[in-house]
Amino acid sequence: MNSLLPLYYQIKEQIRSWIINKQMLPGEKIPSENELAKHFKVARLTIRDAVYQLVKEGLIIRKRGQGTFVTEDVDIINGLSVESYSFLDEIYSQVQKGKTKSVVLEEVLPPRAVREMLELDDSTRSVTRIKRIRYLGDHSFNYTINYLPRELGAQLNEKALLAKPLLQILQQDLNLKFTEAFQTLRASFADQEVADALLIPLGSPMLHVERVMYIGEHKPIEVVQIAYRGDLFRYIMRFKNRVDRHENLWVHE
């Protein structure tokens, strides 16, 4: 299994693929938590987390006193079959690119936009800000700024951030379970801070990514701002045209 992806998430995706690929049929009862735990060689709690996420997606349903079953709503199953990966797959693939060579960890007054995205009240005087420069070989690749609640940031250190991705630390070392994210992308140009950090000319073309990461029931826990060099990075998305009797629908894979 992928060392970066949390176990519950990998198991959820495996069960999901069984359903999508018709290895588990609509209305079929899925194995018990004990049986799945034995199959995947993990704790029951991990299975419970995976099943909970599938229930939230509507892909499986619980029937009191009977067990857990694959949904009989084939529209839900068919709708999921065109997705090749979810936001977590995409994010984890990104953090595995390159190596961090510079880290600045500090407490700062949260900018207004960050305060709003993290839903902080006016009494919050500071947050943890992490600035990192990542490299592909000998070339600077992106400039990343992360904002975290101060109590979470207090558990981090620069040595660990140089050794492994922040996302891995949050997931594996601090046991955060991300449930969703909201991400925006826009074309931009390198301002003086980004140009100095990446050793590129002022005004160089950039791809700017801003992401808010959530845990639990839509609780924002991290703001990520990344400036990617336009000459070294391409963001590729594939779409499929799903045609039914009523409409054409382009779906992101």
Share of the chain above pLDDT 70, in %: 82
Sign of CA dihedral 207, 209, 130, 3: negative
Please say whether the structural domain 91-229 has been given the CATH code 3.90.1580.10.
no
Of the candidates 105, 93, 49, 58, the residue with the CA atom closest to the CA atom of residue 77: 58
Q: Give the tens place of pLDDT for each residue, 22-47.
A: 889 999 999 999 999 999 999 999 99
Residues 6+ apart with CB under 8 A from 142: 98, 133, 134, 198, 226, 227, 228, 229, 233
Chain region(s) in the chain for CATH 3.40.1410.10: 91-229
Chain region(s) in the chain for CATH 1.10.10.10: 7-80
Question: DSSP 3-state helix, strand, coil percentages of the chain (rounded to 5)?
Answer: 35, 35, 35
| Residue 246 pLDDT > 60 | no
Do the beta carbons of residue 208 and residue 227 sit within 8 Å? Answer: yes
Q: Give the tens place of pLDDT for each residue, 214-230.
A: 998 889 999 999 999 98
Give the three-class secondary structure for 4: coil
- Given this structure, which CATH class describes domain 7-80? mainly alpha
Of the candidates 233, 245, 247, 191, the residue with the CA atom closest to the CA atom of residue 93: 233
Q: How many angstroms separate the CA atoms of 210 and 190, rounded? A: 15
Residues 6+ apart with CB under 8 A from 219: none
Q: Give the tens place of pLDDT for each residue, 59-113.
A: 899 998 899 999 998 877 766 544 434 455 555 555 556 788 899 999 999 999 9
Q: Give the tens place of pLDDT for each residue, 136-190.
A: 778 888 999 999 999 999 999 999 999 888 988 998 899 998 888 888 889 999 9
Q: How many angstroms separate the CA atoms of 59 and 82, rounded? A: 14
